Amino acid sequence: MARAGTLIESVMSDIESKIASRAYLPNTRLPSVRAQAKAMNVSISTVVEAYDRLVAEGRIVSRPGAGFYTSGPIAPLNLNQIGPKVAREIDPLWVSRESLEARAGALMPGCGWLPSEWLYQTGIKRALRSLARTDSPDLTEYASPKGSQTFRHFLQRRLLNQTIDVTPDQIMLTESGTHAIDLIGRFLLSPGDTVLVDDPCYFNFHALLKAHRVQIVGVPYTPNGPDLEQFAHALETHNPRLYLTNSGIHNPTGAQLTPSVAHKLLTLAKASELVIVEDDIFADLESTRSPRLAAFDGLDQVIEIGSFSKTVSASVRCGYIAARLEWIEQLVDLKIATSFSGNRLDSEIVLQTLTDSGYRKHMDKLQTWLAKQRRQTTEKLTRLGIQPWIQPKDGMFLWCQLPDGVNATQLARDCLTQDVVLAPGNVFSQSQNAHDFLRFNVAQCTEPKIFEVLAWALKQQI
């Protein structure tokens, strides 16, 4: 769909992309030639020619005396046509599909989850057996609108431990963390709104926000949280509606927010009536507590979401939203309208696993193992000239810079031929300035073959 070449073609391509992304809705009037020329900083005659050619191609229609209109009905929503075209190795949707598609024998040092054997399978199995022995409505009946009350009480205590003050009524269960963010997006966002994300951030945030047809603006992330100056600048320049971040252990950098950054960030957010969605998906991997924006804010402008896909199971789906009561009530309506009922069986399995006496012990063991893996992986990568940006205190991620002149996308392409799936930096970066970064998952880096293939691939470029 992208057109190379002349200015006219670039104007046409811009308009086509706005039609594809529904920034221009079907059967609606396009900006006048004069307004378009000004907005795109091109001459009026360029726009006239571009409009004429689009009319000839049937993409838009001219209504005499009334201007130019998009034609209708629209094409189906195609996420791949929204935004600039990028190499598939850094296309969030391609990367997701590639890593979700089981490839026999492939090694996945770039993927975002723990190997199965490091999850608490014993607890899950125990929960399954225990449910199989009952005639519980958990086996067959719809969930209540907000989800299991016992679970919401459990989450209340859990959030209180992070000094987030909340009542069970302010909590709604969802199918996953992504589902939680998606519902909040449908609740708060309109196409064309601006959303701030960290640069780099969890790559599926980009795909998710594309589906909401909003503008995404990245704020550079520092080892202590987002860069506050840039954050303030983004607030002023873009008047964003939402800031989507992930506290606790930050994905992909492994950084943790400091209290001072958290406080200043919230002060800025307050002044701009910015809503913050804080994704706390890695909470149980933290050995040293870092601050949560929701704790400072008291769930006023901050919405806390989380899930257990990284610590209990990715196949058993369960997440939650904690927010202002009046928002939760409306989110419940949206959840019913769009999925009717939540997953009652899964939330019960997750609850039983989390409250199983062995869970905490398992997490302690897991943290120790991850610490060891972080050390060993750092050593192995350093030997290859690959340098961690910081040494994270917790979690599974190492955000690493490649030797001078090595391009991460090309490296990922080469390693893929050897069945090693990497996560190149730009898949996480809105500004595309992480071309020499890779995210490593230390829990998936136990196979020596990974480092052999990396060494070979590095040689191709140096």
* Of residues 217-236, those binding a second copy (CB under 8 A): none
The nearer residue to a second copy, 378 or 444, going by C-beta atoms, is 444
H/E run at residue 307? strand 302-307
Task: Determine, following the binding rule CB under 8 A, whether residue 190 of this chain makes contact with a second copy.
Answer: yes
Smallest separation, CB 439 to a second copy (Å): 17
* Identified binder of a second copy from the candidate list 8, 60, 124, 408, rule CB under 8 A: 124
* Identified binder of a second copy from the candidate list 2, 6, 26, 298, rule CB under 8 A: 26
Task: Determine, following the binding rule CB under 8 A, whether residue 284 of this chain makes contact with a second copy.
Answer: no
Angle of the 359-383 helix axis to the 121-132 helix axis, nearest 10: 150
Q: Segment contacting a second copy (CB under 8 A): 43-51, 76-84, 287-295, 368-376?
A: 76-84
The nearer residue to a second copy, 98 or 297, going by C-beta atoms, is 98
Smallest separation, CB 203 to a second copy (Å): 11
Distance, CA of 68 to chain centre: 37
Computed from CA positions of residues 448, 451, 456, 457, in that sequence, does the dihedral angle turn out positive or negative?
Answer: positive
- The pair of structure tokens assigned to 250 is 């930050």
Task: Determine, following the binding rule CB under 8 A, whether residue 346 of this chain makes contact with a second copy.
Answer: yes
Smallest separation, CB 387 to a second copy (Å): 30
Residues within window 254-283 making contact with a second copy, judged by CB under 8 A: 273
Q: Segment contacting a second copy (CB under 8 A): 156-164, 191-199, 224-232, 383-391?
A: 191-199
The nearer residue to a second copy, 124 or 234, going by C-beta atoms, is 124
The nearer residue to a second copy, 125 or 383, going by C-beta atoms, is 125
Residues within window 82-121 making contact with a second copy, judged by CB under 8 A: 93, 96-97, 100-102, 113, 116, 119, 121
Smallest separation, CB 461 to a second copy (Å): 30
Strand pairing category for 225-226 and 60-63 = unpaired
| Per-residue contact flags (x/-) with a second copy for residues 324 to 343, judged by CB under 8 A | ---x--x-xxx-xxxxxxxx
Computed from CA positions of residues 430, 431, 435, 438, in that sequence, does the dihedral angle turn out positive or negative?
Answer: negative
- The pair of structure tokens assigned to 436 is 């020499």
- The torsion angles phi and psi of 370, rounded to 5 degrees, stand at -65, -40
Task: Determine, following the binding rule CB under 8 A, whether residue 387 of this chain makes contact with a second copy.
Answer: no
CB 51 within 8 A of CB 30: yes
Smallest separation, CB 412 to a second copy (Å): 19
* Identified binder of a second copy from the candidate list 40, 61, 106, 207, rule CB under 8 A: 207
Q: Which residue has the tokens 């780099």?
A: 200
Task: Determine, following the binding rule CB under 8 A, whether residue 32 of this chain makes contact with a second copy.
Answer: no
Give the integer Cα–Cα distance in Å for 429 and 95.
Answer: 14
**Cβ neighbours of residue 199 under 8 Å, at least 6 residues apart?**
218, 219, 220, 221, 428, 429, 430, 431, 433
Give the integer Cα–Cα distance in Å for 91 and 85.
Answer: 8
**Cβ neighbours of residue 333 under 8 Å, at least 6 residues apart?**
none
* Identified binder of a second copy from the candidate list 4, 56, 104, 132, rule CB under 8 A: 132
* Identified binder of a second copy from the candidate list 67, 137, 259, 298, rule CB under 8 A: 137
Distance, CA of 440 to chain centre: 17
Task: Determine, following the binding rule CB under 8 A, whether residue 129 of this chain makes contact with a second copy.
Answer: yes
Nearest CA among 13, 30, 96 for reference residue 68: 30
- The pair of structure tokens assigned to 371 is 């610490």
* Identified binder of a second copy from the candidate list 6, 45, 78, 150, rule CB under 8 A: 78
Residues within window 301-320 making contact with a second copy, judged by CB under 8 A: 309, 313-317
Number of residues that bind a second copy (CB under 8 A): 82
Q: Which residue has the tokens 């309109």?
A: 190
Q: Segment contacting a second copy (CB under 8 A): 68-76, 214-222, 431-439, 440-448?
A: 68-76
Smallest separation, CB 406 to a second copy (Å): 29
Q: Segment contacting a second copy (CB under 8 A): 200-208, 230-238, 358-366, 381-389?
A: 200-208
Q: Which residue has the tokens 């202002």?
A: 324
Give the gyration radius of the chain's Cα atoms. Answer: 24
Sheet holding 215-222, edge to edge: 171-174, 319-322, 302-307, 275-279, 242-245, 194-199, 215-222, 225-226
The nearer residue to a second copy, 185 or 225, going by C-beta atoms, is 185
The nearer residue to a second copy, 56 or 132, going by C-beta atoms, is 132
Give the integer Cα–Cα distance in Å for 22 and 281.
Answer: 31
Residues within window 149-188 making contact with a second copy, judged by CB under 8 A: 175-179, 182, 186-188
Give the integer Cα–Cα distance in Å for 76 and 80.
Answer: 11
